[in-house]
Amino acid sequence: MDTHDLITTAVRKAGELVVRLRKEHFETLSKGDNPRDIVTSVDLVVNDFLVEKIRSVFPDDKIYSEEGADAVTSAPRLWTIDPIDGSSNFSRGIPHYSICLALLVSGVPEAGAVYNPVTQELFSFKRGSGAFLNGTQIHVSTEAELKNAFVLLHAGRKPELREWGGNAYRQLLEHAKKTSNLAGSALDMCFVAAGRVEIDIYGTGTLLDIAAAVGILREAGGIIINKEGEPAELLGVPQRIIAANSAAMADQVRSVVG
């Protein structure tokens, strides 16, 4: 079994676990003292499941997880996990959340998958071989004009982003065709990769958590930039990002939202 197959098998099995536990009792907890930043007991169970799967095959590899205790953010071979990206949606029964698993080799996404266990949509990639949705290759949209673009905007929870977020939303209402907020960063980025939307904007996106989605988007022909307009780095700390179907589209939306 190659790495891509291992990853896709693992996230499908994790998805079965999520669906089962979702039907049973689960707890919703706050991270630190922020009641808007949540984690559920299912996140923790799924995290342990994926860590065990990785270590059973690659015991010497390093693992980074949003819900794990390890602080490592770089290694020659680094696995990145977000056991449930979109925990708020999950906790309220909104079917827009996913399991994210990726392998980075020398800091570059090598293979990964983003799986929605409710819709059973499995987005995946293998570096140099393309991006896929349930095994069928996907590509970004060819739309070139912001006025015709579908945009996903998630400003973030931080108070200092409220003014920027409100202004960005007003500008997009004027300049884009459709603006929505689905609140599931990995799936949102995969929607750009699949050509469902042209742009995904996050005021505080932590890309290392969702490295799988980054790899999927890049293999599908899209790009990700930071607020300075430079290629966004895979960091374990939040940053403002724009994921888009093309550099030209990213430049158009950046000129509007700042």
The whole-number average pLDDT for the span 119-143 is 98
Report the C-alpha gap between 12 and 64 in whole angstroms: 20
What pLDDT is attached to residue 165?
94
The whole-number average pLDDT for the span 240-253 is 97
pTM as predicted: 0.94
For the ranges 28-32, 114-118, 139-143, the lowest mean pLDDT is seen at 28-32
Task: Map out the domains of the chain with their CATH numbers.
Answer: 3-138 (3.30.540.10), 146-257 (3.40.190.80)
Tens-digit pLDDT profile for residues 212-231: 999 999 999 999 999 999 99
The whole-number average pLDDT for the span 109-134 is 98
What pLDDT is attached to residue 41?
86
171-193 exposure pattern, b = at least 16 Cβ within 10 A, e = fewer: bbeebbeebeebbbbbbbbbbbb
- What tokens does 174 get? 């004027």
- What tokens does 78 get? 């680094």
What pLDDT is attached to residue 26?
75
The average confidence (pLDDT) of the chain is: 92
| Statement: residue 242 has pLDDT above 90 | yes
Contact 96, 182 (CB under 8 A): yes
